[in-house]
Amino acid sequence: MTMHQIRNIAIIAHVDHGKTTLVDQLLRQSGTFRENEKVAERVMDNNDIERERGITILAKNCAVTWQGTHINIVDTPGHADFGGEVERALSMVDGVVLLIDAQEGPMPQTRFVTKKALALGLKPIVVVNKVDKPGSRPDYVINAAFELFDKLGATEEQLDFPVVYASGLNGWASLTEGDAGEAWGTDMQPLFETILRHVPAHQGDPAAPLQLQISSLDYSTYVGRIGVGRVNSGTLKPGMDVLVCEGTPEEGGKTFKGRVNQVLTFEGLNRVMAESAGPGDIVLVNGIEDLGIGVTLTSVDNPQPLPMLKVDEPTLTMNFCVNTSPLAGREGKFVTSRQIWDRLQKELQSNVALRVKESGEDGIFEVSGRGELHLTILLENMRREGYELAVSKPRVVFHMVDGERHEPIELVTVDVEDQHQGGVMQALGERKGELVNMETDGRGRVRLEYRIPARGLIGFSNEFLNLTRGTGLISNIFDSWEPYKGEIAGRKNGVLISMDDGEIFTYALGKLDDRGRMFVKPGDQVYEGMIVGIHSRDNDLVVNATRTKQLTNFRVSGKEDAIKITPPIDLTLEYAVEFIDDDELVEITPKTIRVRKRFLKEHERKRASREAA
């Protein structure tokens, strides 16, 4: 395949602006699937959690052929927490398709991915998606995109971006805005033509020394570790001896020799064997067991290593520790500190934005990531694999700058109905938020932009859903490091703590119903120190959750009152991690999520609070 017949693009956008749906249409309309083939929606989201939540977590590769040109497509995540995936994906491509929702316009993650793309010198194609939606405003979106590019220091060439109007869901694109049903397109041809016209073919010499940087990893039980990356220059063939370099000589990384077993390329969603691969080809290679992300496969005789991939540092950290509760080991297959440590080390091989280190305490590991979602997705994967562990409240990572403590500041965008604006502004103000912009759309909604310490957002999403009755949209992105902003008030309510081990009975819950909302239901097992509910007041209260009714021979005339209890709060992993305080832990097993006090005995908790004071 000649170089001019290859194009490499990444689809980038804010979360839920339609990246994966658009890729579906590109695959369908390029003839990738047979006419009678049954294909799932969002076919690129092939991970269970991605399908359940409707989000993309891992960057995925596929390829289509259009008019004789092989187009490699990388579908990237939209959440800021998975920014490490976006940064890696952009290292493999020569152009980006920037999707922007025709109603929402540029959002925080749009800013993040655009900044990364512009810094790499990539020229974006702006696709205004969902233009057939009621309330769409394409002119506003294009002007806002131009202003965003200008603020981010785009070059003249980058500012002169082509615009395509599209509906990914309905499978059409158009180069003119038009009115409904008038100038709208019938298929994706205008987008394909724009990609071929504006995305440059990769420039590289097939006769030069090999240079291939590994951008992501996969694993197969048959061939072991698989590296994915773009051939920058040279030619790669199966059975070829290569030098594996961890960065340039100046970076001081180690080098070792290896032999490539197979070379595969993408065709549609499939991987096919290739006899050779040249500049611009995105390939999969196997046979080298110690491959890592960012390493360069290069010529043994004339090595040309590339610098290691750089990704932004984590802003949030949590303690992962062995589960020590009285119910430990009943549901999980992997429960020891060594098993948890090995699993975290395995995750580090492909999750570049994660950091793991041992703490001073036995069986406790400090795990740092980009945000709550980044870490809770890892925990959800671990519990599904059979791991059992306990985790602490998330804490932000502080940096020391000239002897002063600096903390991460997030840029938050909030879309709410006018009637909820006051409550949201008050809540963000209490969390040290600073209002930087406010816009109304004239249709009963307002957009607020805040700069707020990352600490202030921990535990805020549930409060935000309650404040906006589920109608609000919130998104955030890391902005900068700034001096510590002072204390932020924590959880307003105390908790109800079980005083005993045993089984929950309806009678006990009936007696506790006016004390607060419960996390447990009749039949659940509890233990001393386990949190069974939220107290209606601001103090912690030790309660008897295993109390049973004393049976006597004495009966009153008439029917006894039926015990009425309020349905319990559904304790999800995300809710539990946001809910807990500094002296509490979330106990995670394959079947159950529980919350507990770090010290289970009441006298131990009192002693710890005295020492802390």
Q: For residue 567, what is the domain's CATH number?
A: 2.40.50.250
Average the pLDDT over each of 49-63, 70-84, 476-490 and give the range with the smallest value: 49-63
CB 535 within 8 A of CB 550: no
Question: Does 129 have pLDDT greater than 80?
Answer: yes
Question: Does 389 have pLDDT greater than 90?
Answer: yes
* Boundary (domain end) residue, out of 175, 198, 221: 198
Rounded to an integer, the average pLDDT of 9-26 is: 80
Note whether 17 and 161 are same-domain residues. yes
Give the CATH number for residue 415.
3.30.70.240
In a domain, 359, yes or no: no
In a domain, 578, yes or no: yes
In a domain, 378, yes or no: no
Give the CATH number for residue 155.
3.40.50.300
Return the number of other C-beta atoms located less than 10 Å from residue 317's C-beta: 18
Q: Is 412 annotated as a binding residue?
A: no
Rounded to an integer, the average pLDDT of 193-216 is: 87
Note whether 512 and 470 are same-domain residues. no
Note whether 74 and 105 are same-domain residues. yes
Q: What integer pLDDT is reported at residue 53 of this predicted model? A: 58
Average the pLDDT over each of 17-21, 467-471, 606-610 and give the range with the smallest value: 17-21
pLDDT tens per residue across span 513-527: 888 889 988 888 999
Note whether 514 and 539 are same-domain residues. yes
Rounded to an integer, the average pLDDT of 10-34 is: 76
Q: What integer pLDDT is reported at residue 40 of this predicted model? A: 47
Q: Is 17 annotated as a binding residue?
A: yes
Q: Is 199 annotated as a binding residue?
A: no
Q: What percent of the chain has pLDDT over 90?
A: 17
Note whether 25 and 134 are same-domain residues. yes
Q: What integer pLDDT is reported at residue 595 of this predicted model? A: 94
What residues contact 567, with CB distance under 8 A and at least 6 apart?
none
Rounded to an integer, the average pLDDT of 208-235 is: 85
In a domain, 308, yes or no: no
Cα–Cα distance, 510 to 498 (Å, whole number): 15
In a domain, 460, yes or no: yes
Note whether 42 and 151 are same-domain residues. yes
In a domain, 604, yes or no: yes
Question: Does 216 have pLDDT greater than 50?
Answer: yes
* 326: helix, strand or coil: coil
Q: What integer pLDDT is reported at residue 496 of this predicted model? A: 92
What residues contact 115, with CB distance under 8 A and at least 6 apart?
152
What is the domain extent for residue 604?
495-612
Question: Does 69 have pLDDT greater than 80?
Answer: yes
Note whether 168 and 193 are same-domain residues. yes
Rounded to an integer, the average pLDDT of 110-114 is: 82
Give the CATH number for residue 286.
2.40.30.10
In a domain, 269, yes or no: yes
Alpha helices in 305-371 (DSSP H): 337-348
Q: Is 548 annotated as a binding residue?
A: no
Res. 180 pLDDT band, cuts 50 70 90: very low
Q: What integer pLDDT is reported at residue 497 of this predicted model? A: 92
Domain count across the chain: 4
Note whether 469 and 542 are same-domain residues. no
Question: Does 72 have pLDDT greater than 60?
Answer: yes
Q: Which tops the pLDDT comparison, 116 or 83?
A: 116
Average the pLDDT over each of 303-307, 313-317, 370-374, 547-551 and give the range with the smallest value: 547-551
Rg over alpha carbons for the chain, rounded to the nearest Å, is 27
Note whether 499 and 415 are same-domain residues. no
Rounded to an integer, the average pLDDT of 470-496 is: 85
Note whether 124 and 40 are same-domain residues. yes
Q: What integer pLDDT is reported at residue 33 of this predicted model? A: 52
Judged on CB neighbours under 10 Å (0-12, 13-18, 19+), 278 is buried
Question: Does 2 have pLDDT greater than 50?
Answer: no
Question: Does 37 have pLDDT greater than 70?
Answer: no
Res. 39 pLDDT band, cuts 50 70 90: very low
Q: Is 20 annotated as a binding residue?
A: yes
Q: What integer pLDDT is reported at residue 78 of this predicted model? A: 61
DSSP 139-204: HHHHHHHHHHHHHTT--HHHHS--EEEEETTTTEEESS---TTTT--SSSHHHHHHHHHHSPPPP-
Res. 36 pLDDT band, cuts 50 70 90: very low
Q: What integer pLDDT is reported at residue 34 of this predicted model? A: 47
In a domain, 352, yes or no: no
Q: What percent of the chain has pLDDT over 70?
A: 90
Q: Is 21 annotated as a binding residue?
A: yes
Judged on CB neighbours under 10 Å (0-12, 13-18, 19+), 134 is exposed
* Boundary (domain end) residue, out of 483, 507, 530: 483
* Boundary (domain end) residue, out of 454, 483, 512: 483
Note whether 522 and 463 are same-domain residues. no
Note whether 29 and 150 are same-domain residues. yes
